[in-house]
Chains A and B, each alone.
Chain A
């Protein structure tokens, strides 16, 4: 990954910090950074932290259109610049972090992670159909991931429960990411850019850990050893 990007999960969306510098330089590098993580961003709701950057409506509208071409919805602009605020308001963007949608009202509690620079979140609940969690770090769920629910994580996904929905680990391109669950039978499992469909289960469910080995999905027993 060549261009670093500072972001954090906010409920069902992401808050991305736009780096300092000249707009004509920052804009293409921001888009490139997003393109490098296109799997992770596809379908995301994004708020941009713009600090005191001054942009007119044309520049901001152009950025929104670029994001929209990448299937990213720009929802909000956080800024102290008056011009940018006016431009954002003209485009119908929120000027503060939007209240999470009623059905996606999650507390994402950051927890300690031993991987430096990686944040992790803990969800102590069952994710039901329609729920979507998107986080740049690791995601730990204590509960089930039901059919129709979705977890997209930049890092690993650990579920203390049943996985029946869609889980995407390493969505920012990390092929070393893993998915662990007590009962792993997702509708679809993705790691980095690879997609797999669970085989029909035979026998009793057991804890499993799925990962990529030489570009192929493998699931191993997730046990003490």
Chain B
């Protein structure tokens, strides 16, 4: 059994990469999967905070790469779930401390004993992004329904194509249904018209996400949160379940259209 390496990226900052990584990792582990989350944002470490593991950090990714500890020592076990681990980024170094080959080597070392390796990519299109992309089997692009985030996502998709990676899948995060209904926010269809890749999940805006992040308790643990349920649904889809996409946008028509899109592989019918 060999793990699937999933890189979570976006181009633009602040769209929810770290939140998505923490929540998908948590949800997958809750479903009984063996998961390691890696924070590849060297110098701007925060996956540990969102996962509530900040005070357990001793060694980090750069320590592993530079041989100050072994991989096992840098893996922090989650407080709640038994098969969830996190490897923190170094806070005092920058992206040049890591190379794409280092990331491939680390991912390969982790593969045999896990089911999923989730890599939280830094924003931007430079070295840090390339490091995070290098070992990826699957790329998840996180975007928000706003023009600038979609533009950056499009650029990132183009760069993954040039790397010869498989077509990424899209997470549309922070959707505000009431704004979409009023025509003030891009609809999923508008975003897909530009990006033309498969949509794997739509996550509604949810105040609980911010609260949960600040408390270090991923929202996916909260079954009553809409965003938490959306992340759990994405985790299920990663595992191969064909769940229909939730309808956060409108009461009627769109639900059916989105469902159809998932079945036909993202091509609007």
**What size tier do the contact residues of chain B reach?**
10 to 19
* B196 cross-chain contacts in A, Cβ below 8 A: 126, 144
Q: Which of B109-117, B153-161, B233-241, B246-254 contacts A (4 or more CB under 8 A)?
A: B153-161
Q: A61: which B residues are within 8 A, CB to CB? A: none
Q: How far is the CA of A198 from the CA of B251 in the complex (A)?
A: 34
Q: A130, B158: Cβ atoms under 8 Å?
A: yes
Per-residue CB contact flags for chain A residues 147-184 toward chain B (1 = under 8 Å, else 0) read: 11000000000000010100000000000000000000
Q: Which chain B residue lies CB-closest to A101?
A: B162
B151→A131 contact, CB < 8 A: no
- The answer to whether A129 and B162 touch (CB under 8 A), given A146-B194, A147-B194, is no
Nearest residue (CB) in A for B158 is A128
Point out the residues of chain B lying under 8 angstroms from A102, CB to CB. Answer: 159, 162-163
- For residue B152, CB closer than 8 A to chain A, the reply is yes
Q: Tell me, yes or no, whether A105 is within 8 Å of chain B by CB.
A: yes
B-side residues, CB < 8 A to A, are 125, 147, 151-152, 154-155, 157-159, 161-163, 193-194, 196
What would 9 more interface pairs be, CB under 8 Å, given A148-B151, A162-B193, A164-B194?
A102-B159, A102-B162, A103-B125, A103-B158, A129-B158, A130-B125, A130-B154, A147-B151, A148-B154
How far, in angstroms, from A103 to B193 measured CA to CA in the complex?
21
Cα(A102)–Cα(B164), bound, Å: 10
Beta-carbon nearest neighbor of A127 in chain B: B158
A144 to B152 alpha-carbon distance, docked (Å) = 16
Bound CA span A128–B125, Å:
14
Q: Bound state CA distance, A174 and B147, in angstroms?
A: 34
State the majority secondary structure of interface residues on A.
loop
Contact flags A115-148 to B (C-beta < 8 A → 1, else 0): 0000000000011111100000000000010111
Q: How far is the CB of B199 from chain A (nearest CB, A)?
A: 17
Q: A128 contacts B154, CB within 8 Å?
A: yes
Select A129's contact among B154, B161, B163, beta carbons within 8 Å: B154
Give the distance to chain A from B183, nearest Cβ to Cβ, in Å. 15
Closest to A148 in B: B151
Q: Is the CB of A103 within 8 A of B162?
A: yes
Range, interface on chain A: 10 to 19
Q: In the complex, what's the smallest C-beta–C-beta distance from B211 to chain A, in angstroms?
A: 34
Instruction: Indicate whether A130 sits within 8 Å of B155 (C-beta atoms), given known contacts A102-B163, A103-B162, A105-B162.
Output: yes
CA distance A162 to B151 in the complex (A): 15
- Of all chain A residues, the one with the shortest Cβ separation from B153 is A129
**Are B157 and A128 in contact (CB-based, < 8 A)?**
yes
| Chain A residues whose CB sits within 8 angstroms of the CB of B147 once the complex forms | 147
List 7 A-B pairs, minimum CB-CB distance, nearest first: A128-B158, A129-B155, A129-B154, A130-B155, A103-B159, A128-B154, A105-B162
Q: Please, how many angstroms separate the alpha-carbon atoms of A130 and B11 in the complex?
A: 12
Can you name 13 A-B residue pairings with CB atoms under 8 Å? A102-B159, A102-B162, A103-B158, A126-B196, A127-B158, A128-B154, A128-B155, A128-B158, A129-B155, A130-B155, A131-B158, A146-B154, A162-B193
Residues of B within 8 A of A104 (CB): 162
Q: A126-B196, A164-B194 are in contact. Are A147 and B154 (CB under 8 A)?
A: yes
Nearest to B130 among chain A residues (CB) is: A102
Tell whether A148 pairs with B155 under 8 Å between CB atoms, given A126-B196, A164-B194: yes
- When chains A and B are docked, how far (Å) is the Cα of A127 from the Cα of B194? 11
Task: Point out which of B151, B157, B159, B196 has the most chain A C-beta atoms below 10 A from its C-beta.
Answer: B159
Q: Which residues of B contact A144 (CB under 8 A)?
A: 196
Chain A positions 71-105 with a Cβ under 8 Å from a chain B Cβ: 102-105
List of A residues within 8 angstroms of B152 by Cβ: 129
A6-49 toward B: CB 8 Å interface, digit per residue (1/0)?
00000000000000000000000000000000000000000000
Please, which residues of chain A bring their CB within 8 A of the CB of B194?
Answer: 146-147, 164
Most B CB atoms within 10 A — which of A130, A147, A164? A130
The CA of A131 and the CA of B125, in the complex, are separated in Å by 13
- B154 contact set on A, CB distance < 8 A: 128-130, 146-148
